[in-house]
Amino acid sequence: MSTNSIVLQTESFCDIHDIKEAKSYIRPYVRHTPLIQSMFLSNNVTGGNVFLKLENMQFTGSFKFRGALNKILHLTDEQKEKGIITASAGNHAQGLALTGKLLDIKTTVIMPNEAPIAKQEATRGYGAEVILEGDTFNDSRLYMEQMAKETGKTIVHPYDDSEVMAGQGTIGLEILDSIWNVDTVVLPVGGGGLISGVATALKSFNPNIHIIGVQSENVHGMATSIEAGKITSQFTDHTIADGTEVTIPGDKTFEVVDKLVDEFILVSEEEISSAMRHLMQRTKIVTEGAGALPTAALISGKIDPCYLKDKNIVALVSGGNVDLTRVSDIIDHLLKPADTNEGVVG
């Protein structure tokens, strides 16, 4: 498939020109996050060159700030005056809340009842009104849509929005700035906004870059939908990767993912927890469950070695907003007897 054909197939939603524009819009506000090599994942796990893109070091501790900011910068003055509203498990909420604070826009966030306390408090700390409603993100989304109709507030969707996707796609441009000859990119997936934007950016440059989406075995609405060939709900149980706990993917993101993402890997809760421990112990990176999904996929052995051995690989650490109680549990686990290599850094 040619590069031009990829751009044309996705341009009704988000294309490379939108992503480059987003980069110019958000550059004054966002961090160009580090890309570091993990010697452990390179030498001990994959036999390739594995680099971690550290979006846990982005403002608000997550990539979500990029998309929320790009969307709001495109709103009219009238829309900004009426205020903005969203539904989010936490990271998009914080990104939107910080943007609202920076641009002096009243922000309302609907969060599921099980949203991590740390994310609730951080969102309020940025000045947003937080309303808890529903057991799942989809419940919160439905309530958000009802409230938006009643108040006239503009919905800033966490993933199914062209300008949000374009904002997240700027990560792809940063990856290419650092490693133009990247072979494989591994990304966490919830509703699909992140992987849609990043895949569009990467495959517009090189259609042969292998894009892998990773989801929890407990919640993988996007993977189920791609396999079924239509948007399908999927939920087995809550996941430690709460930032990706989206049972039904977006209409726009589904179409982009179906065209551009090469495969999906599903990982267990234990594999996610193990990845969080490895990232903390080996590379000194504190990540939330969603941010550990790509590392979990690499460690699990479920990715075909042909996409790993002797390849340049980027795994995205999408966020670091994890409750301290969960970090404490991980530390307790690390203090138990483990393999002899557990203390190796890198």
How far, in Å, CA of 266 to CA of 146, rounded?
33
- Distance between CA atoms of 185 and 183, rounded to whole angstroms? 7
* Mean pLDDT by groups of 10 residues along the chain of 346 residues: 38 84 97 97 97 97 96 96 90 93 95 84 93 88 94 94 97 98 98 97 98 98 98 94 91 97 97 94 92 98 98 97 74 60 49
| pLDDT in the model for residue 337 | 57
In the set 64, 71, 203, 252, the catalytic residue is: 64
> What pLDDT does residue 6 have?
42
- Residue 11 has a pLDDT of 44
The Cα 260–Cα 192 span in angstroms is: 12
Please give the structure tokens belonging to residue 67. Answer: 């998309």
Instruction: Supply the DSSP symbol for 307.
Output: G
Q: What is the pLDDT of residue 199?
A: 98
Q: How many CB atoms lie within 10 A of CB 17?
A: 12
Q: Which amino acid belongs to residue 152?
A: G
Known catalytic membership, residue 204: no
For the full predicted model, state whether its pTM sits above 0.85: yes
CB 110 within 8 A of CB 128: no
88 is catalytic: no
3-state percent breakdown (helix, strand, coil) of the chain, nearest 5: 50, 15, 35
Given 38, 42, 140, 318, which residue is catalytic? 318
Tell me 335's DSSP state.
T
